Every structure is written in C-alpha cells, then in structure tokens.
Structure 1
Amino acid sequence: MKHGPTLFLKLAVLFIGLPVISLCVFGLIWLMSNPANPDYDQLLYPIIAGMYLSAIPFFIALYQAFKLLSYIDNNQAFSGFSVKALKKIKVCALVIS
C-alpha cells in the first residue's frame, strides 16, 4: 500500500500541533507577564488556565488522529482500534467545545 497520502496527513497533524504548542510555551507565558490592561490581571489567569486545560484534549485528539492514520497504513481502517480512536477524538472535541 502507498504511504504517500497518509504520510502527508501525518505531517499535517504534526504541523497542526506545532503552532499550538509554541503558543502554550511562549505566547501564553508572555501574555501572563505582559498583560494588555493591568487592571484586569485577576481575570487573565483563569482565562490562561482554561487555554492550557483545553490544549490537553487537543493534543490527545491529535495523537489519536496520528494513531488512526497508522491504523489506515496497516490496513486496519475498519477495525475496533480505529473505532476507539474515533470515539476518543469525538470525546476530546466535545470537551474542547
């Protein structure tokens, strides 16, 4: 089986995660130290905590998508493993929303 389309999709999954992890590592930390309006500092911390908490199911869903693409590579696209991965992606999407 050709690995071209799934390799492209695996790379796309990785490139989707890179901006989010860089935002979590650099952007949100910078925002905490340099708030736009210092009067609302007390509101900034719960918002940033919510952003960090929503990143956890996002990365779990990306990992499950990567596993799903691996199952497709191994001709197990319609197996129980892929169904479990899709269900986990669905739950992560519900948690994020």
Structure 2
Amino acid sequence: MERGTTFFLRATVVAIGLAILAICAWGLPLVIGDLADTFPAYMLLPVLIIAYASAIPFFYALYQALRLLRFIDRNHAFSERSVQALKRVKYCGFAICALYAASLPFLYLMAEKDDAPGLIVIGLVIAFASLVIAVFAAVLQQLLKSAVDFKSELDFTV
C-alpha cells in the first residue's frame, strides 16, 4: 500500500481520536450539566460513567489501528503482530458494545421520564456500530491469520 494512503488513514484515525477527546472533555460535561436539572443523578451518573469508560477501549482500538498502519508501512502487514492488533480491536469493539448495552436500561428510564425515545436509539446505534466493527475485525483477523499461516508454510517449503 502506498504511503499516501496510509498517511491519509493515519490522519483520519488521529482526527477521530481528537474529536472524541473533545467530546469527552467539553461535550459530555456540557450535556450532563444541562440534563442535571431534568434527570436525577441515579439516571445520569451511570450513563456518564459508561460513556467515559467506553473511551478507554475506543482509544486503545485507535492505538492498535495506528500500529496496524505502521506495520503496513513497514511491509509487515502479514505478520503475527498484525493479527494480534486486529484481535485487540475486536475485543475493544465487543467491550464498547457491552458497555453501551449496559447503559440501555438507564437510557430507557431517561427516555420514559422525558418522553424521548431517541435516547434509546442513540444507545442502540452506538452498540450495534461497535458490534459491526468487532465482527469485521474478527473476520479480518481470521483472513489475516490464514494468510500468515500460508506465508509461513511457503517460507518453510522454500
């Protein structure tokens, strides 16, 4: 793969990371501050904790994506380290999905109190998007693992 393509992907990953960091630093406190008048703390606090907790596997997955792009730049795309990076991205996707699935009861309570069913949809969209990413990473991991095994078999033959 050309360096220009991986540079663009790397820049995109960094931009996504900066956007989520800005949301965590400024967006969530502003939204929670506005909602504090409407909802009690037992509804808001778990959602806020889950939102911040999901940032940890998200940033770790972004780091693994940057590592994978570095492996591609160095022509080590078909290596066991690339398979491990995809495996970690898969686990991060499943962790984010589980966290947002755990937030759905609290979002339901909030939606019930404010008559806003869109809150549940937002939680479901984030959970399913991270699940799709996790499944996609799992498929890529299996394909890459097969390619690495085939490459090592060829190396032993020659």
Relative to the length of structure 1, the TM-score reads 0.91
2:36/2:44 contact within 8 Å kept: no
The separation in 2 between residues aligned to 1:19 and 1:12, in whole angstroms, is 10
Aligned-pair identity in percent equals 44
Range that drifts further, 15-24 or 25-34: 25-34
The structure showing larger relative contact order (alpha-carbon pairs under 8 Å, at least 6 residues apart) is 1
The separation in 2 between residues aligned to 1:70 and 1:95, in whole angstroms, is 24
Higher-Rg member (1/2): 2
Shift of 1:36: 5.9
Alignment partner of 1:34: what SS?
Answer: helix
Shift of 1:75: 0.2
Which residue is 2:83 aligned to? 83
Asked if 1:7 corresponds to 2:2, the answer is: no
2:64/2:86 contact within 8 Å kept: yes
- Segments of structure 1 that go 5 or more residues without pairing to the other structure are none
Shift of 1:3: 1.0
Runs of 4+ with >6 A deviation = none
- Segments of structure 2 that go 5 or more residues without pairing to the other structure are 98-158
Tell me: CA distance 1:39–1:12, structure 2 relative to 1, closer, same or farther (3 Å): closer
1:57/1:96 contact within 8 Å kept: yes
1:57/1:92 contact within 8 Å kept: yes
The separation in 1 between residues aligned to 2:39 and 2:84, in whole angstroms, is 46
Tell me: CA distance 1:46–1:2, structure 2 relative to 1, closer, same or farther (3 Å): same
* Residues 41-97 of structure 1: per-residue CA shift (max 9 Å, x gap): 321011010000011100000000000000000000011111110100000011111
Aligned residue type for 1:4: G
Aligned residue type for 2:44: L
Which residue is 2:25 aligned to? 25
Range that drifts further, 49-58 or 26-35: 26-35
Asked if 1:35 corresponds to 2:35, the answer is: yes
Relative to the length of structure 2, the TM-score reads 0.57
The separation in 1 between residues aligned to 2:67 and 2:39, in whole angstroms, is 45
* Residues 11-56 of structure 1: per-residue CA shift (max 9 Å, x gap): 0101111221111000111223322643433210110100000111
Alignment partner of 1:94: what SS?
Answer: helix
